Chain A
Amino acid sequence: MKRDQSRLRKSLALLVMSSVLLLSACSGGNGNTEGSKESAPPQSAQPSDSGQTPEEEPYKISIMMQSFDTNLPGADSPVIKQLEEYTNTDLDIQFVPNSSYPDKVNITLASGQLPTIMVVDKSPSFISAARAGAFWEVGPYLKDYPNLSMANDIVLNNSSIDGKNYGVYRGRVLGRMGLTLNQVWMDNLGLQPPKTIDEFYNILKAFKEKDPDQDGKDDTYGIVVTKYAGPWDIMQVWFGAPNGWGDDGSGNLVPTHMTPEYREALKFFRKLYEEGLVNEDFAVMDSAVWNDPFVNGEAGAFVDVADNARRLNASMQEKEPRDESYTSVYQAPVGPKGHRDMPTTGYAGMLAISKSAVKTEEELKKVLAFIDKLGDVEMQLLLGYGVEGTHYDMVDGYIVPKENLEPAVLQQYNGLNQMLPFIGPVAPTLEQTPINNMIAEVQAANEKIVVANPAQPLVSEVYAQKGQQLDNIIADARIQYIVGQIDDAGLDAAIKLWRETGGDDYIEEINKLYKESQQ
């Protein structure tokens, strides 16, 4: 079989070559054979015989990860050189543009030639590959490493598959959400930060009706929302609706849209829409321009990641510089069921180690040692901010990026932060401006009020098949309810449709998996 394949391969290559030759004979040669003449470069770093290799020899590691930038460091980047020196490795970094990353993961899995480390999500094809033994189960090893042993249990649980960890998660702030308000408007109207949902409502109402920008015109409203439904998801948790799934009191999980708290939240949203406290066109609004109404002084509230307060402030400062911050950011207001907010999953993908590139446990330990070292403060700084003195300076223990750096210099470390697991000691941060401090406070305080999704680690077959379809039914009904196209009966009908389309099977499966995982 194998031999047949390689013979086939050879003859195919011959055929293609000959057709190219034939073609050039016919048309007088148009000289495009450059591509086929080049020999294929090595696909992935095959670790050299580790048994004989002396300790000092740099260990070869290939990494595949997303890029969120187009100016990427070349192999000659001094930052990569420093990284290689520090970790005693020989790195081959493959950047893949974020928008096509899932495709690239799938074809890489299909090709069977995986890089040493691959950043992956818990996608069905990764889950299936992990179950089939394509990746090392790293969970049991983590305790042996100084940084990796500090991994957060909640996040480890969230990122697990069938209770096992097939990768080192890339940590993110768990309690990242926040309520951003226009501080100028707050001051103009003499308002205090909202403690409860009623106060939150009153602020939105005042933003709409009390002329917060003091221009004498009725041209403002409360909160801006777009086609992207994130803000609704966040705010319904404030009202006590579970995050995704919740315990119904008898130990069974129910989806959030089947709880009374969900309905309460929707009634509130509907009131916001009826009274014009949210933008009229939110259901169709292009999320690329989400920030614009806030920056232009049309809307005064923004519910999303807390750190967006910095972005909004920066845009407004660019318009008209002001000594103080234009924005302020607060924790979620307290709702009828107490102080609650939506968390993130606490991680963004995992660094999975493939068995096709890493054959032995001994090698696995080398790779884990590399990932462990990425948690060191030195590496967090190097990959996140570049080289001290070149890209940033340390002032009073804070990082101050050099101003007006040439993009070509910035390029030396661009995108490398994508390999950081952020498991380890806390590294120095950017210089603390008032708004940055506020964001940090909110996110730290959020840790205590975030509501975990108990179904997060569960892998549902039904959801893999019909998940998006099911989600759409509920998401659409929610929007239609808010804008008043359907009433409570319509919402009930949508939930019934959801259950019939596969929702009931989904509930049953989740509960079964949940009970199994509890044991």
Chain B
Amino acid sequence: MTSTLTAEPRTAEPLAGPSTWHGSGLGTQILVLTTRSLRAVVRDPRMIIFSLLQPLIMLLLFSQIFSSIANTPDFPRGVNYIDYLMPAILVNTAMQSALQAGVGLINDMKNGVLARFRSLPIRLGSVLVARSLSDLVRTAIQLLVMLLFATVLFGFSPSGGVLGVLAALALALVVGWGLSWAFLAIATWLRNAEVMQMVGFLAMFPLMFASSAYVPVRGLPGWLQAVANVNPLTHAVDAARNLALSHPVGGGALAAIVTSLVIAAVGAVFAVRGFRRPL
């Protein structure tokens, strides 16, 4: 493409002139930037499809490999393994998505578009909020697709019914959203997508397995039980599971929500600080 600009002199109007716009409100900034990120997802749905593959494979493998766990004495009576497993898969998928929020931010930094945003009269914090919100929407879509698969193909049908499942989904979203701020914070300091992926994997892989996600905690070896009991993920998964199975939740859901909000708040402080550093 070697198109050139025409050389004829321009009238004064189009290029320069008195500026009439001096920055948008915070709400507009967040709305416009969130829409931007979501449009990228719509334009390139591979991101959604590929990020669905991993949880789908986990769902397929774990539901087959671990199904005999339902027959062990520690397993809750009268519960199908798929109904036990699915809430944990929801939480796990939301966590993987949270990691993607950080990766997406790093890609934006590389892409050059963040350099543009920095030169505009907008608050940099709104870029971060938009990132976390657009990833929340993306995660919600992912989780709904997962639920559809689980219900149609694997017979997921917990005793909590639609309301219980939606409550578990909402809780998974809150946990994922809170965690996305931790990853956004890490992203603004690391600024390297590969390292970011590795850090995320190293952090989440043991957390997921040293928890109640796939097997009852009482079935774990003693030392692992101790780890699982202090692992916040155990509590998040338990809360989501109890909601889906309409078991008594106790303070579990509230604790998970509060913990997520605290992580979000701390993450946001560090994310904004790290984000201010020059690219």
A and B: bona fide binding partners: no
Residue numbers of A with Cβ under 8 A of B are none
Q: What is the interface of chain B, defined by CB distance below 8 A to chain A?
A: none
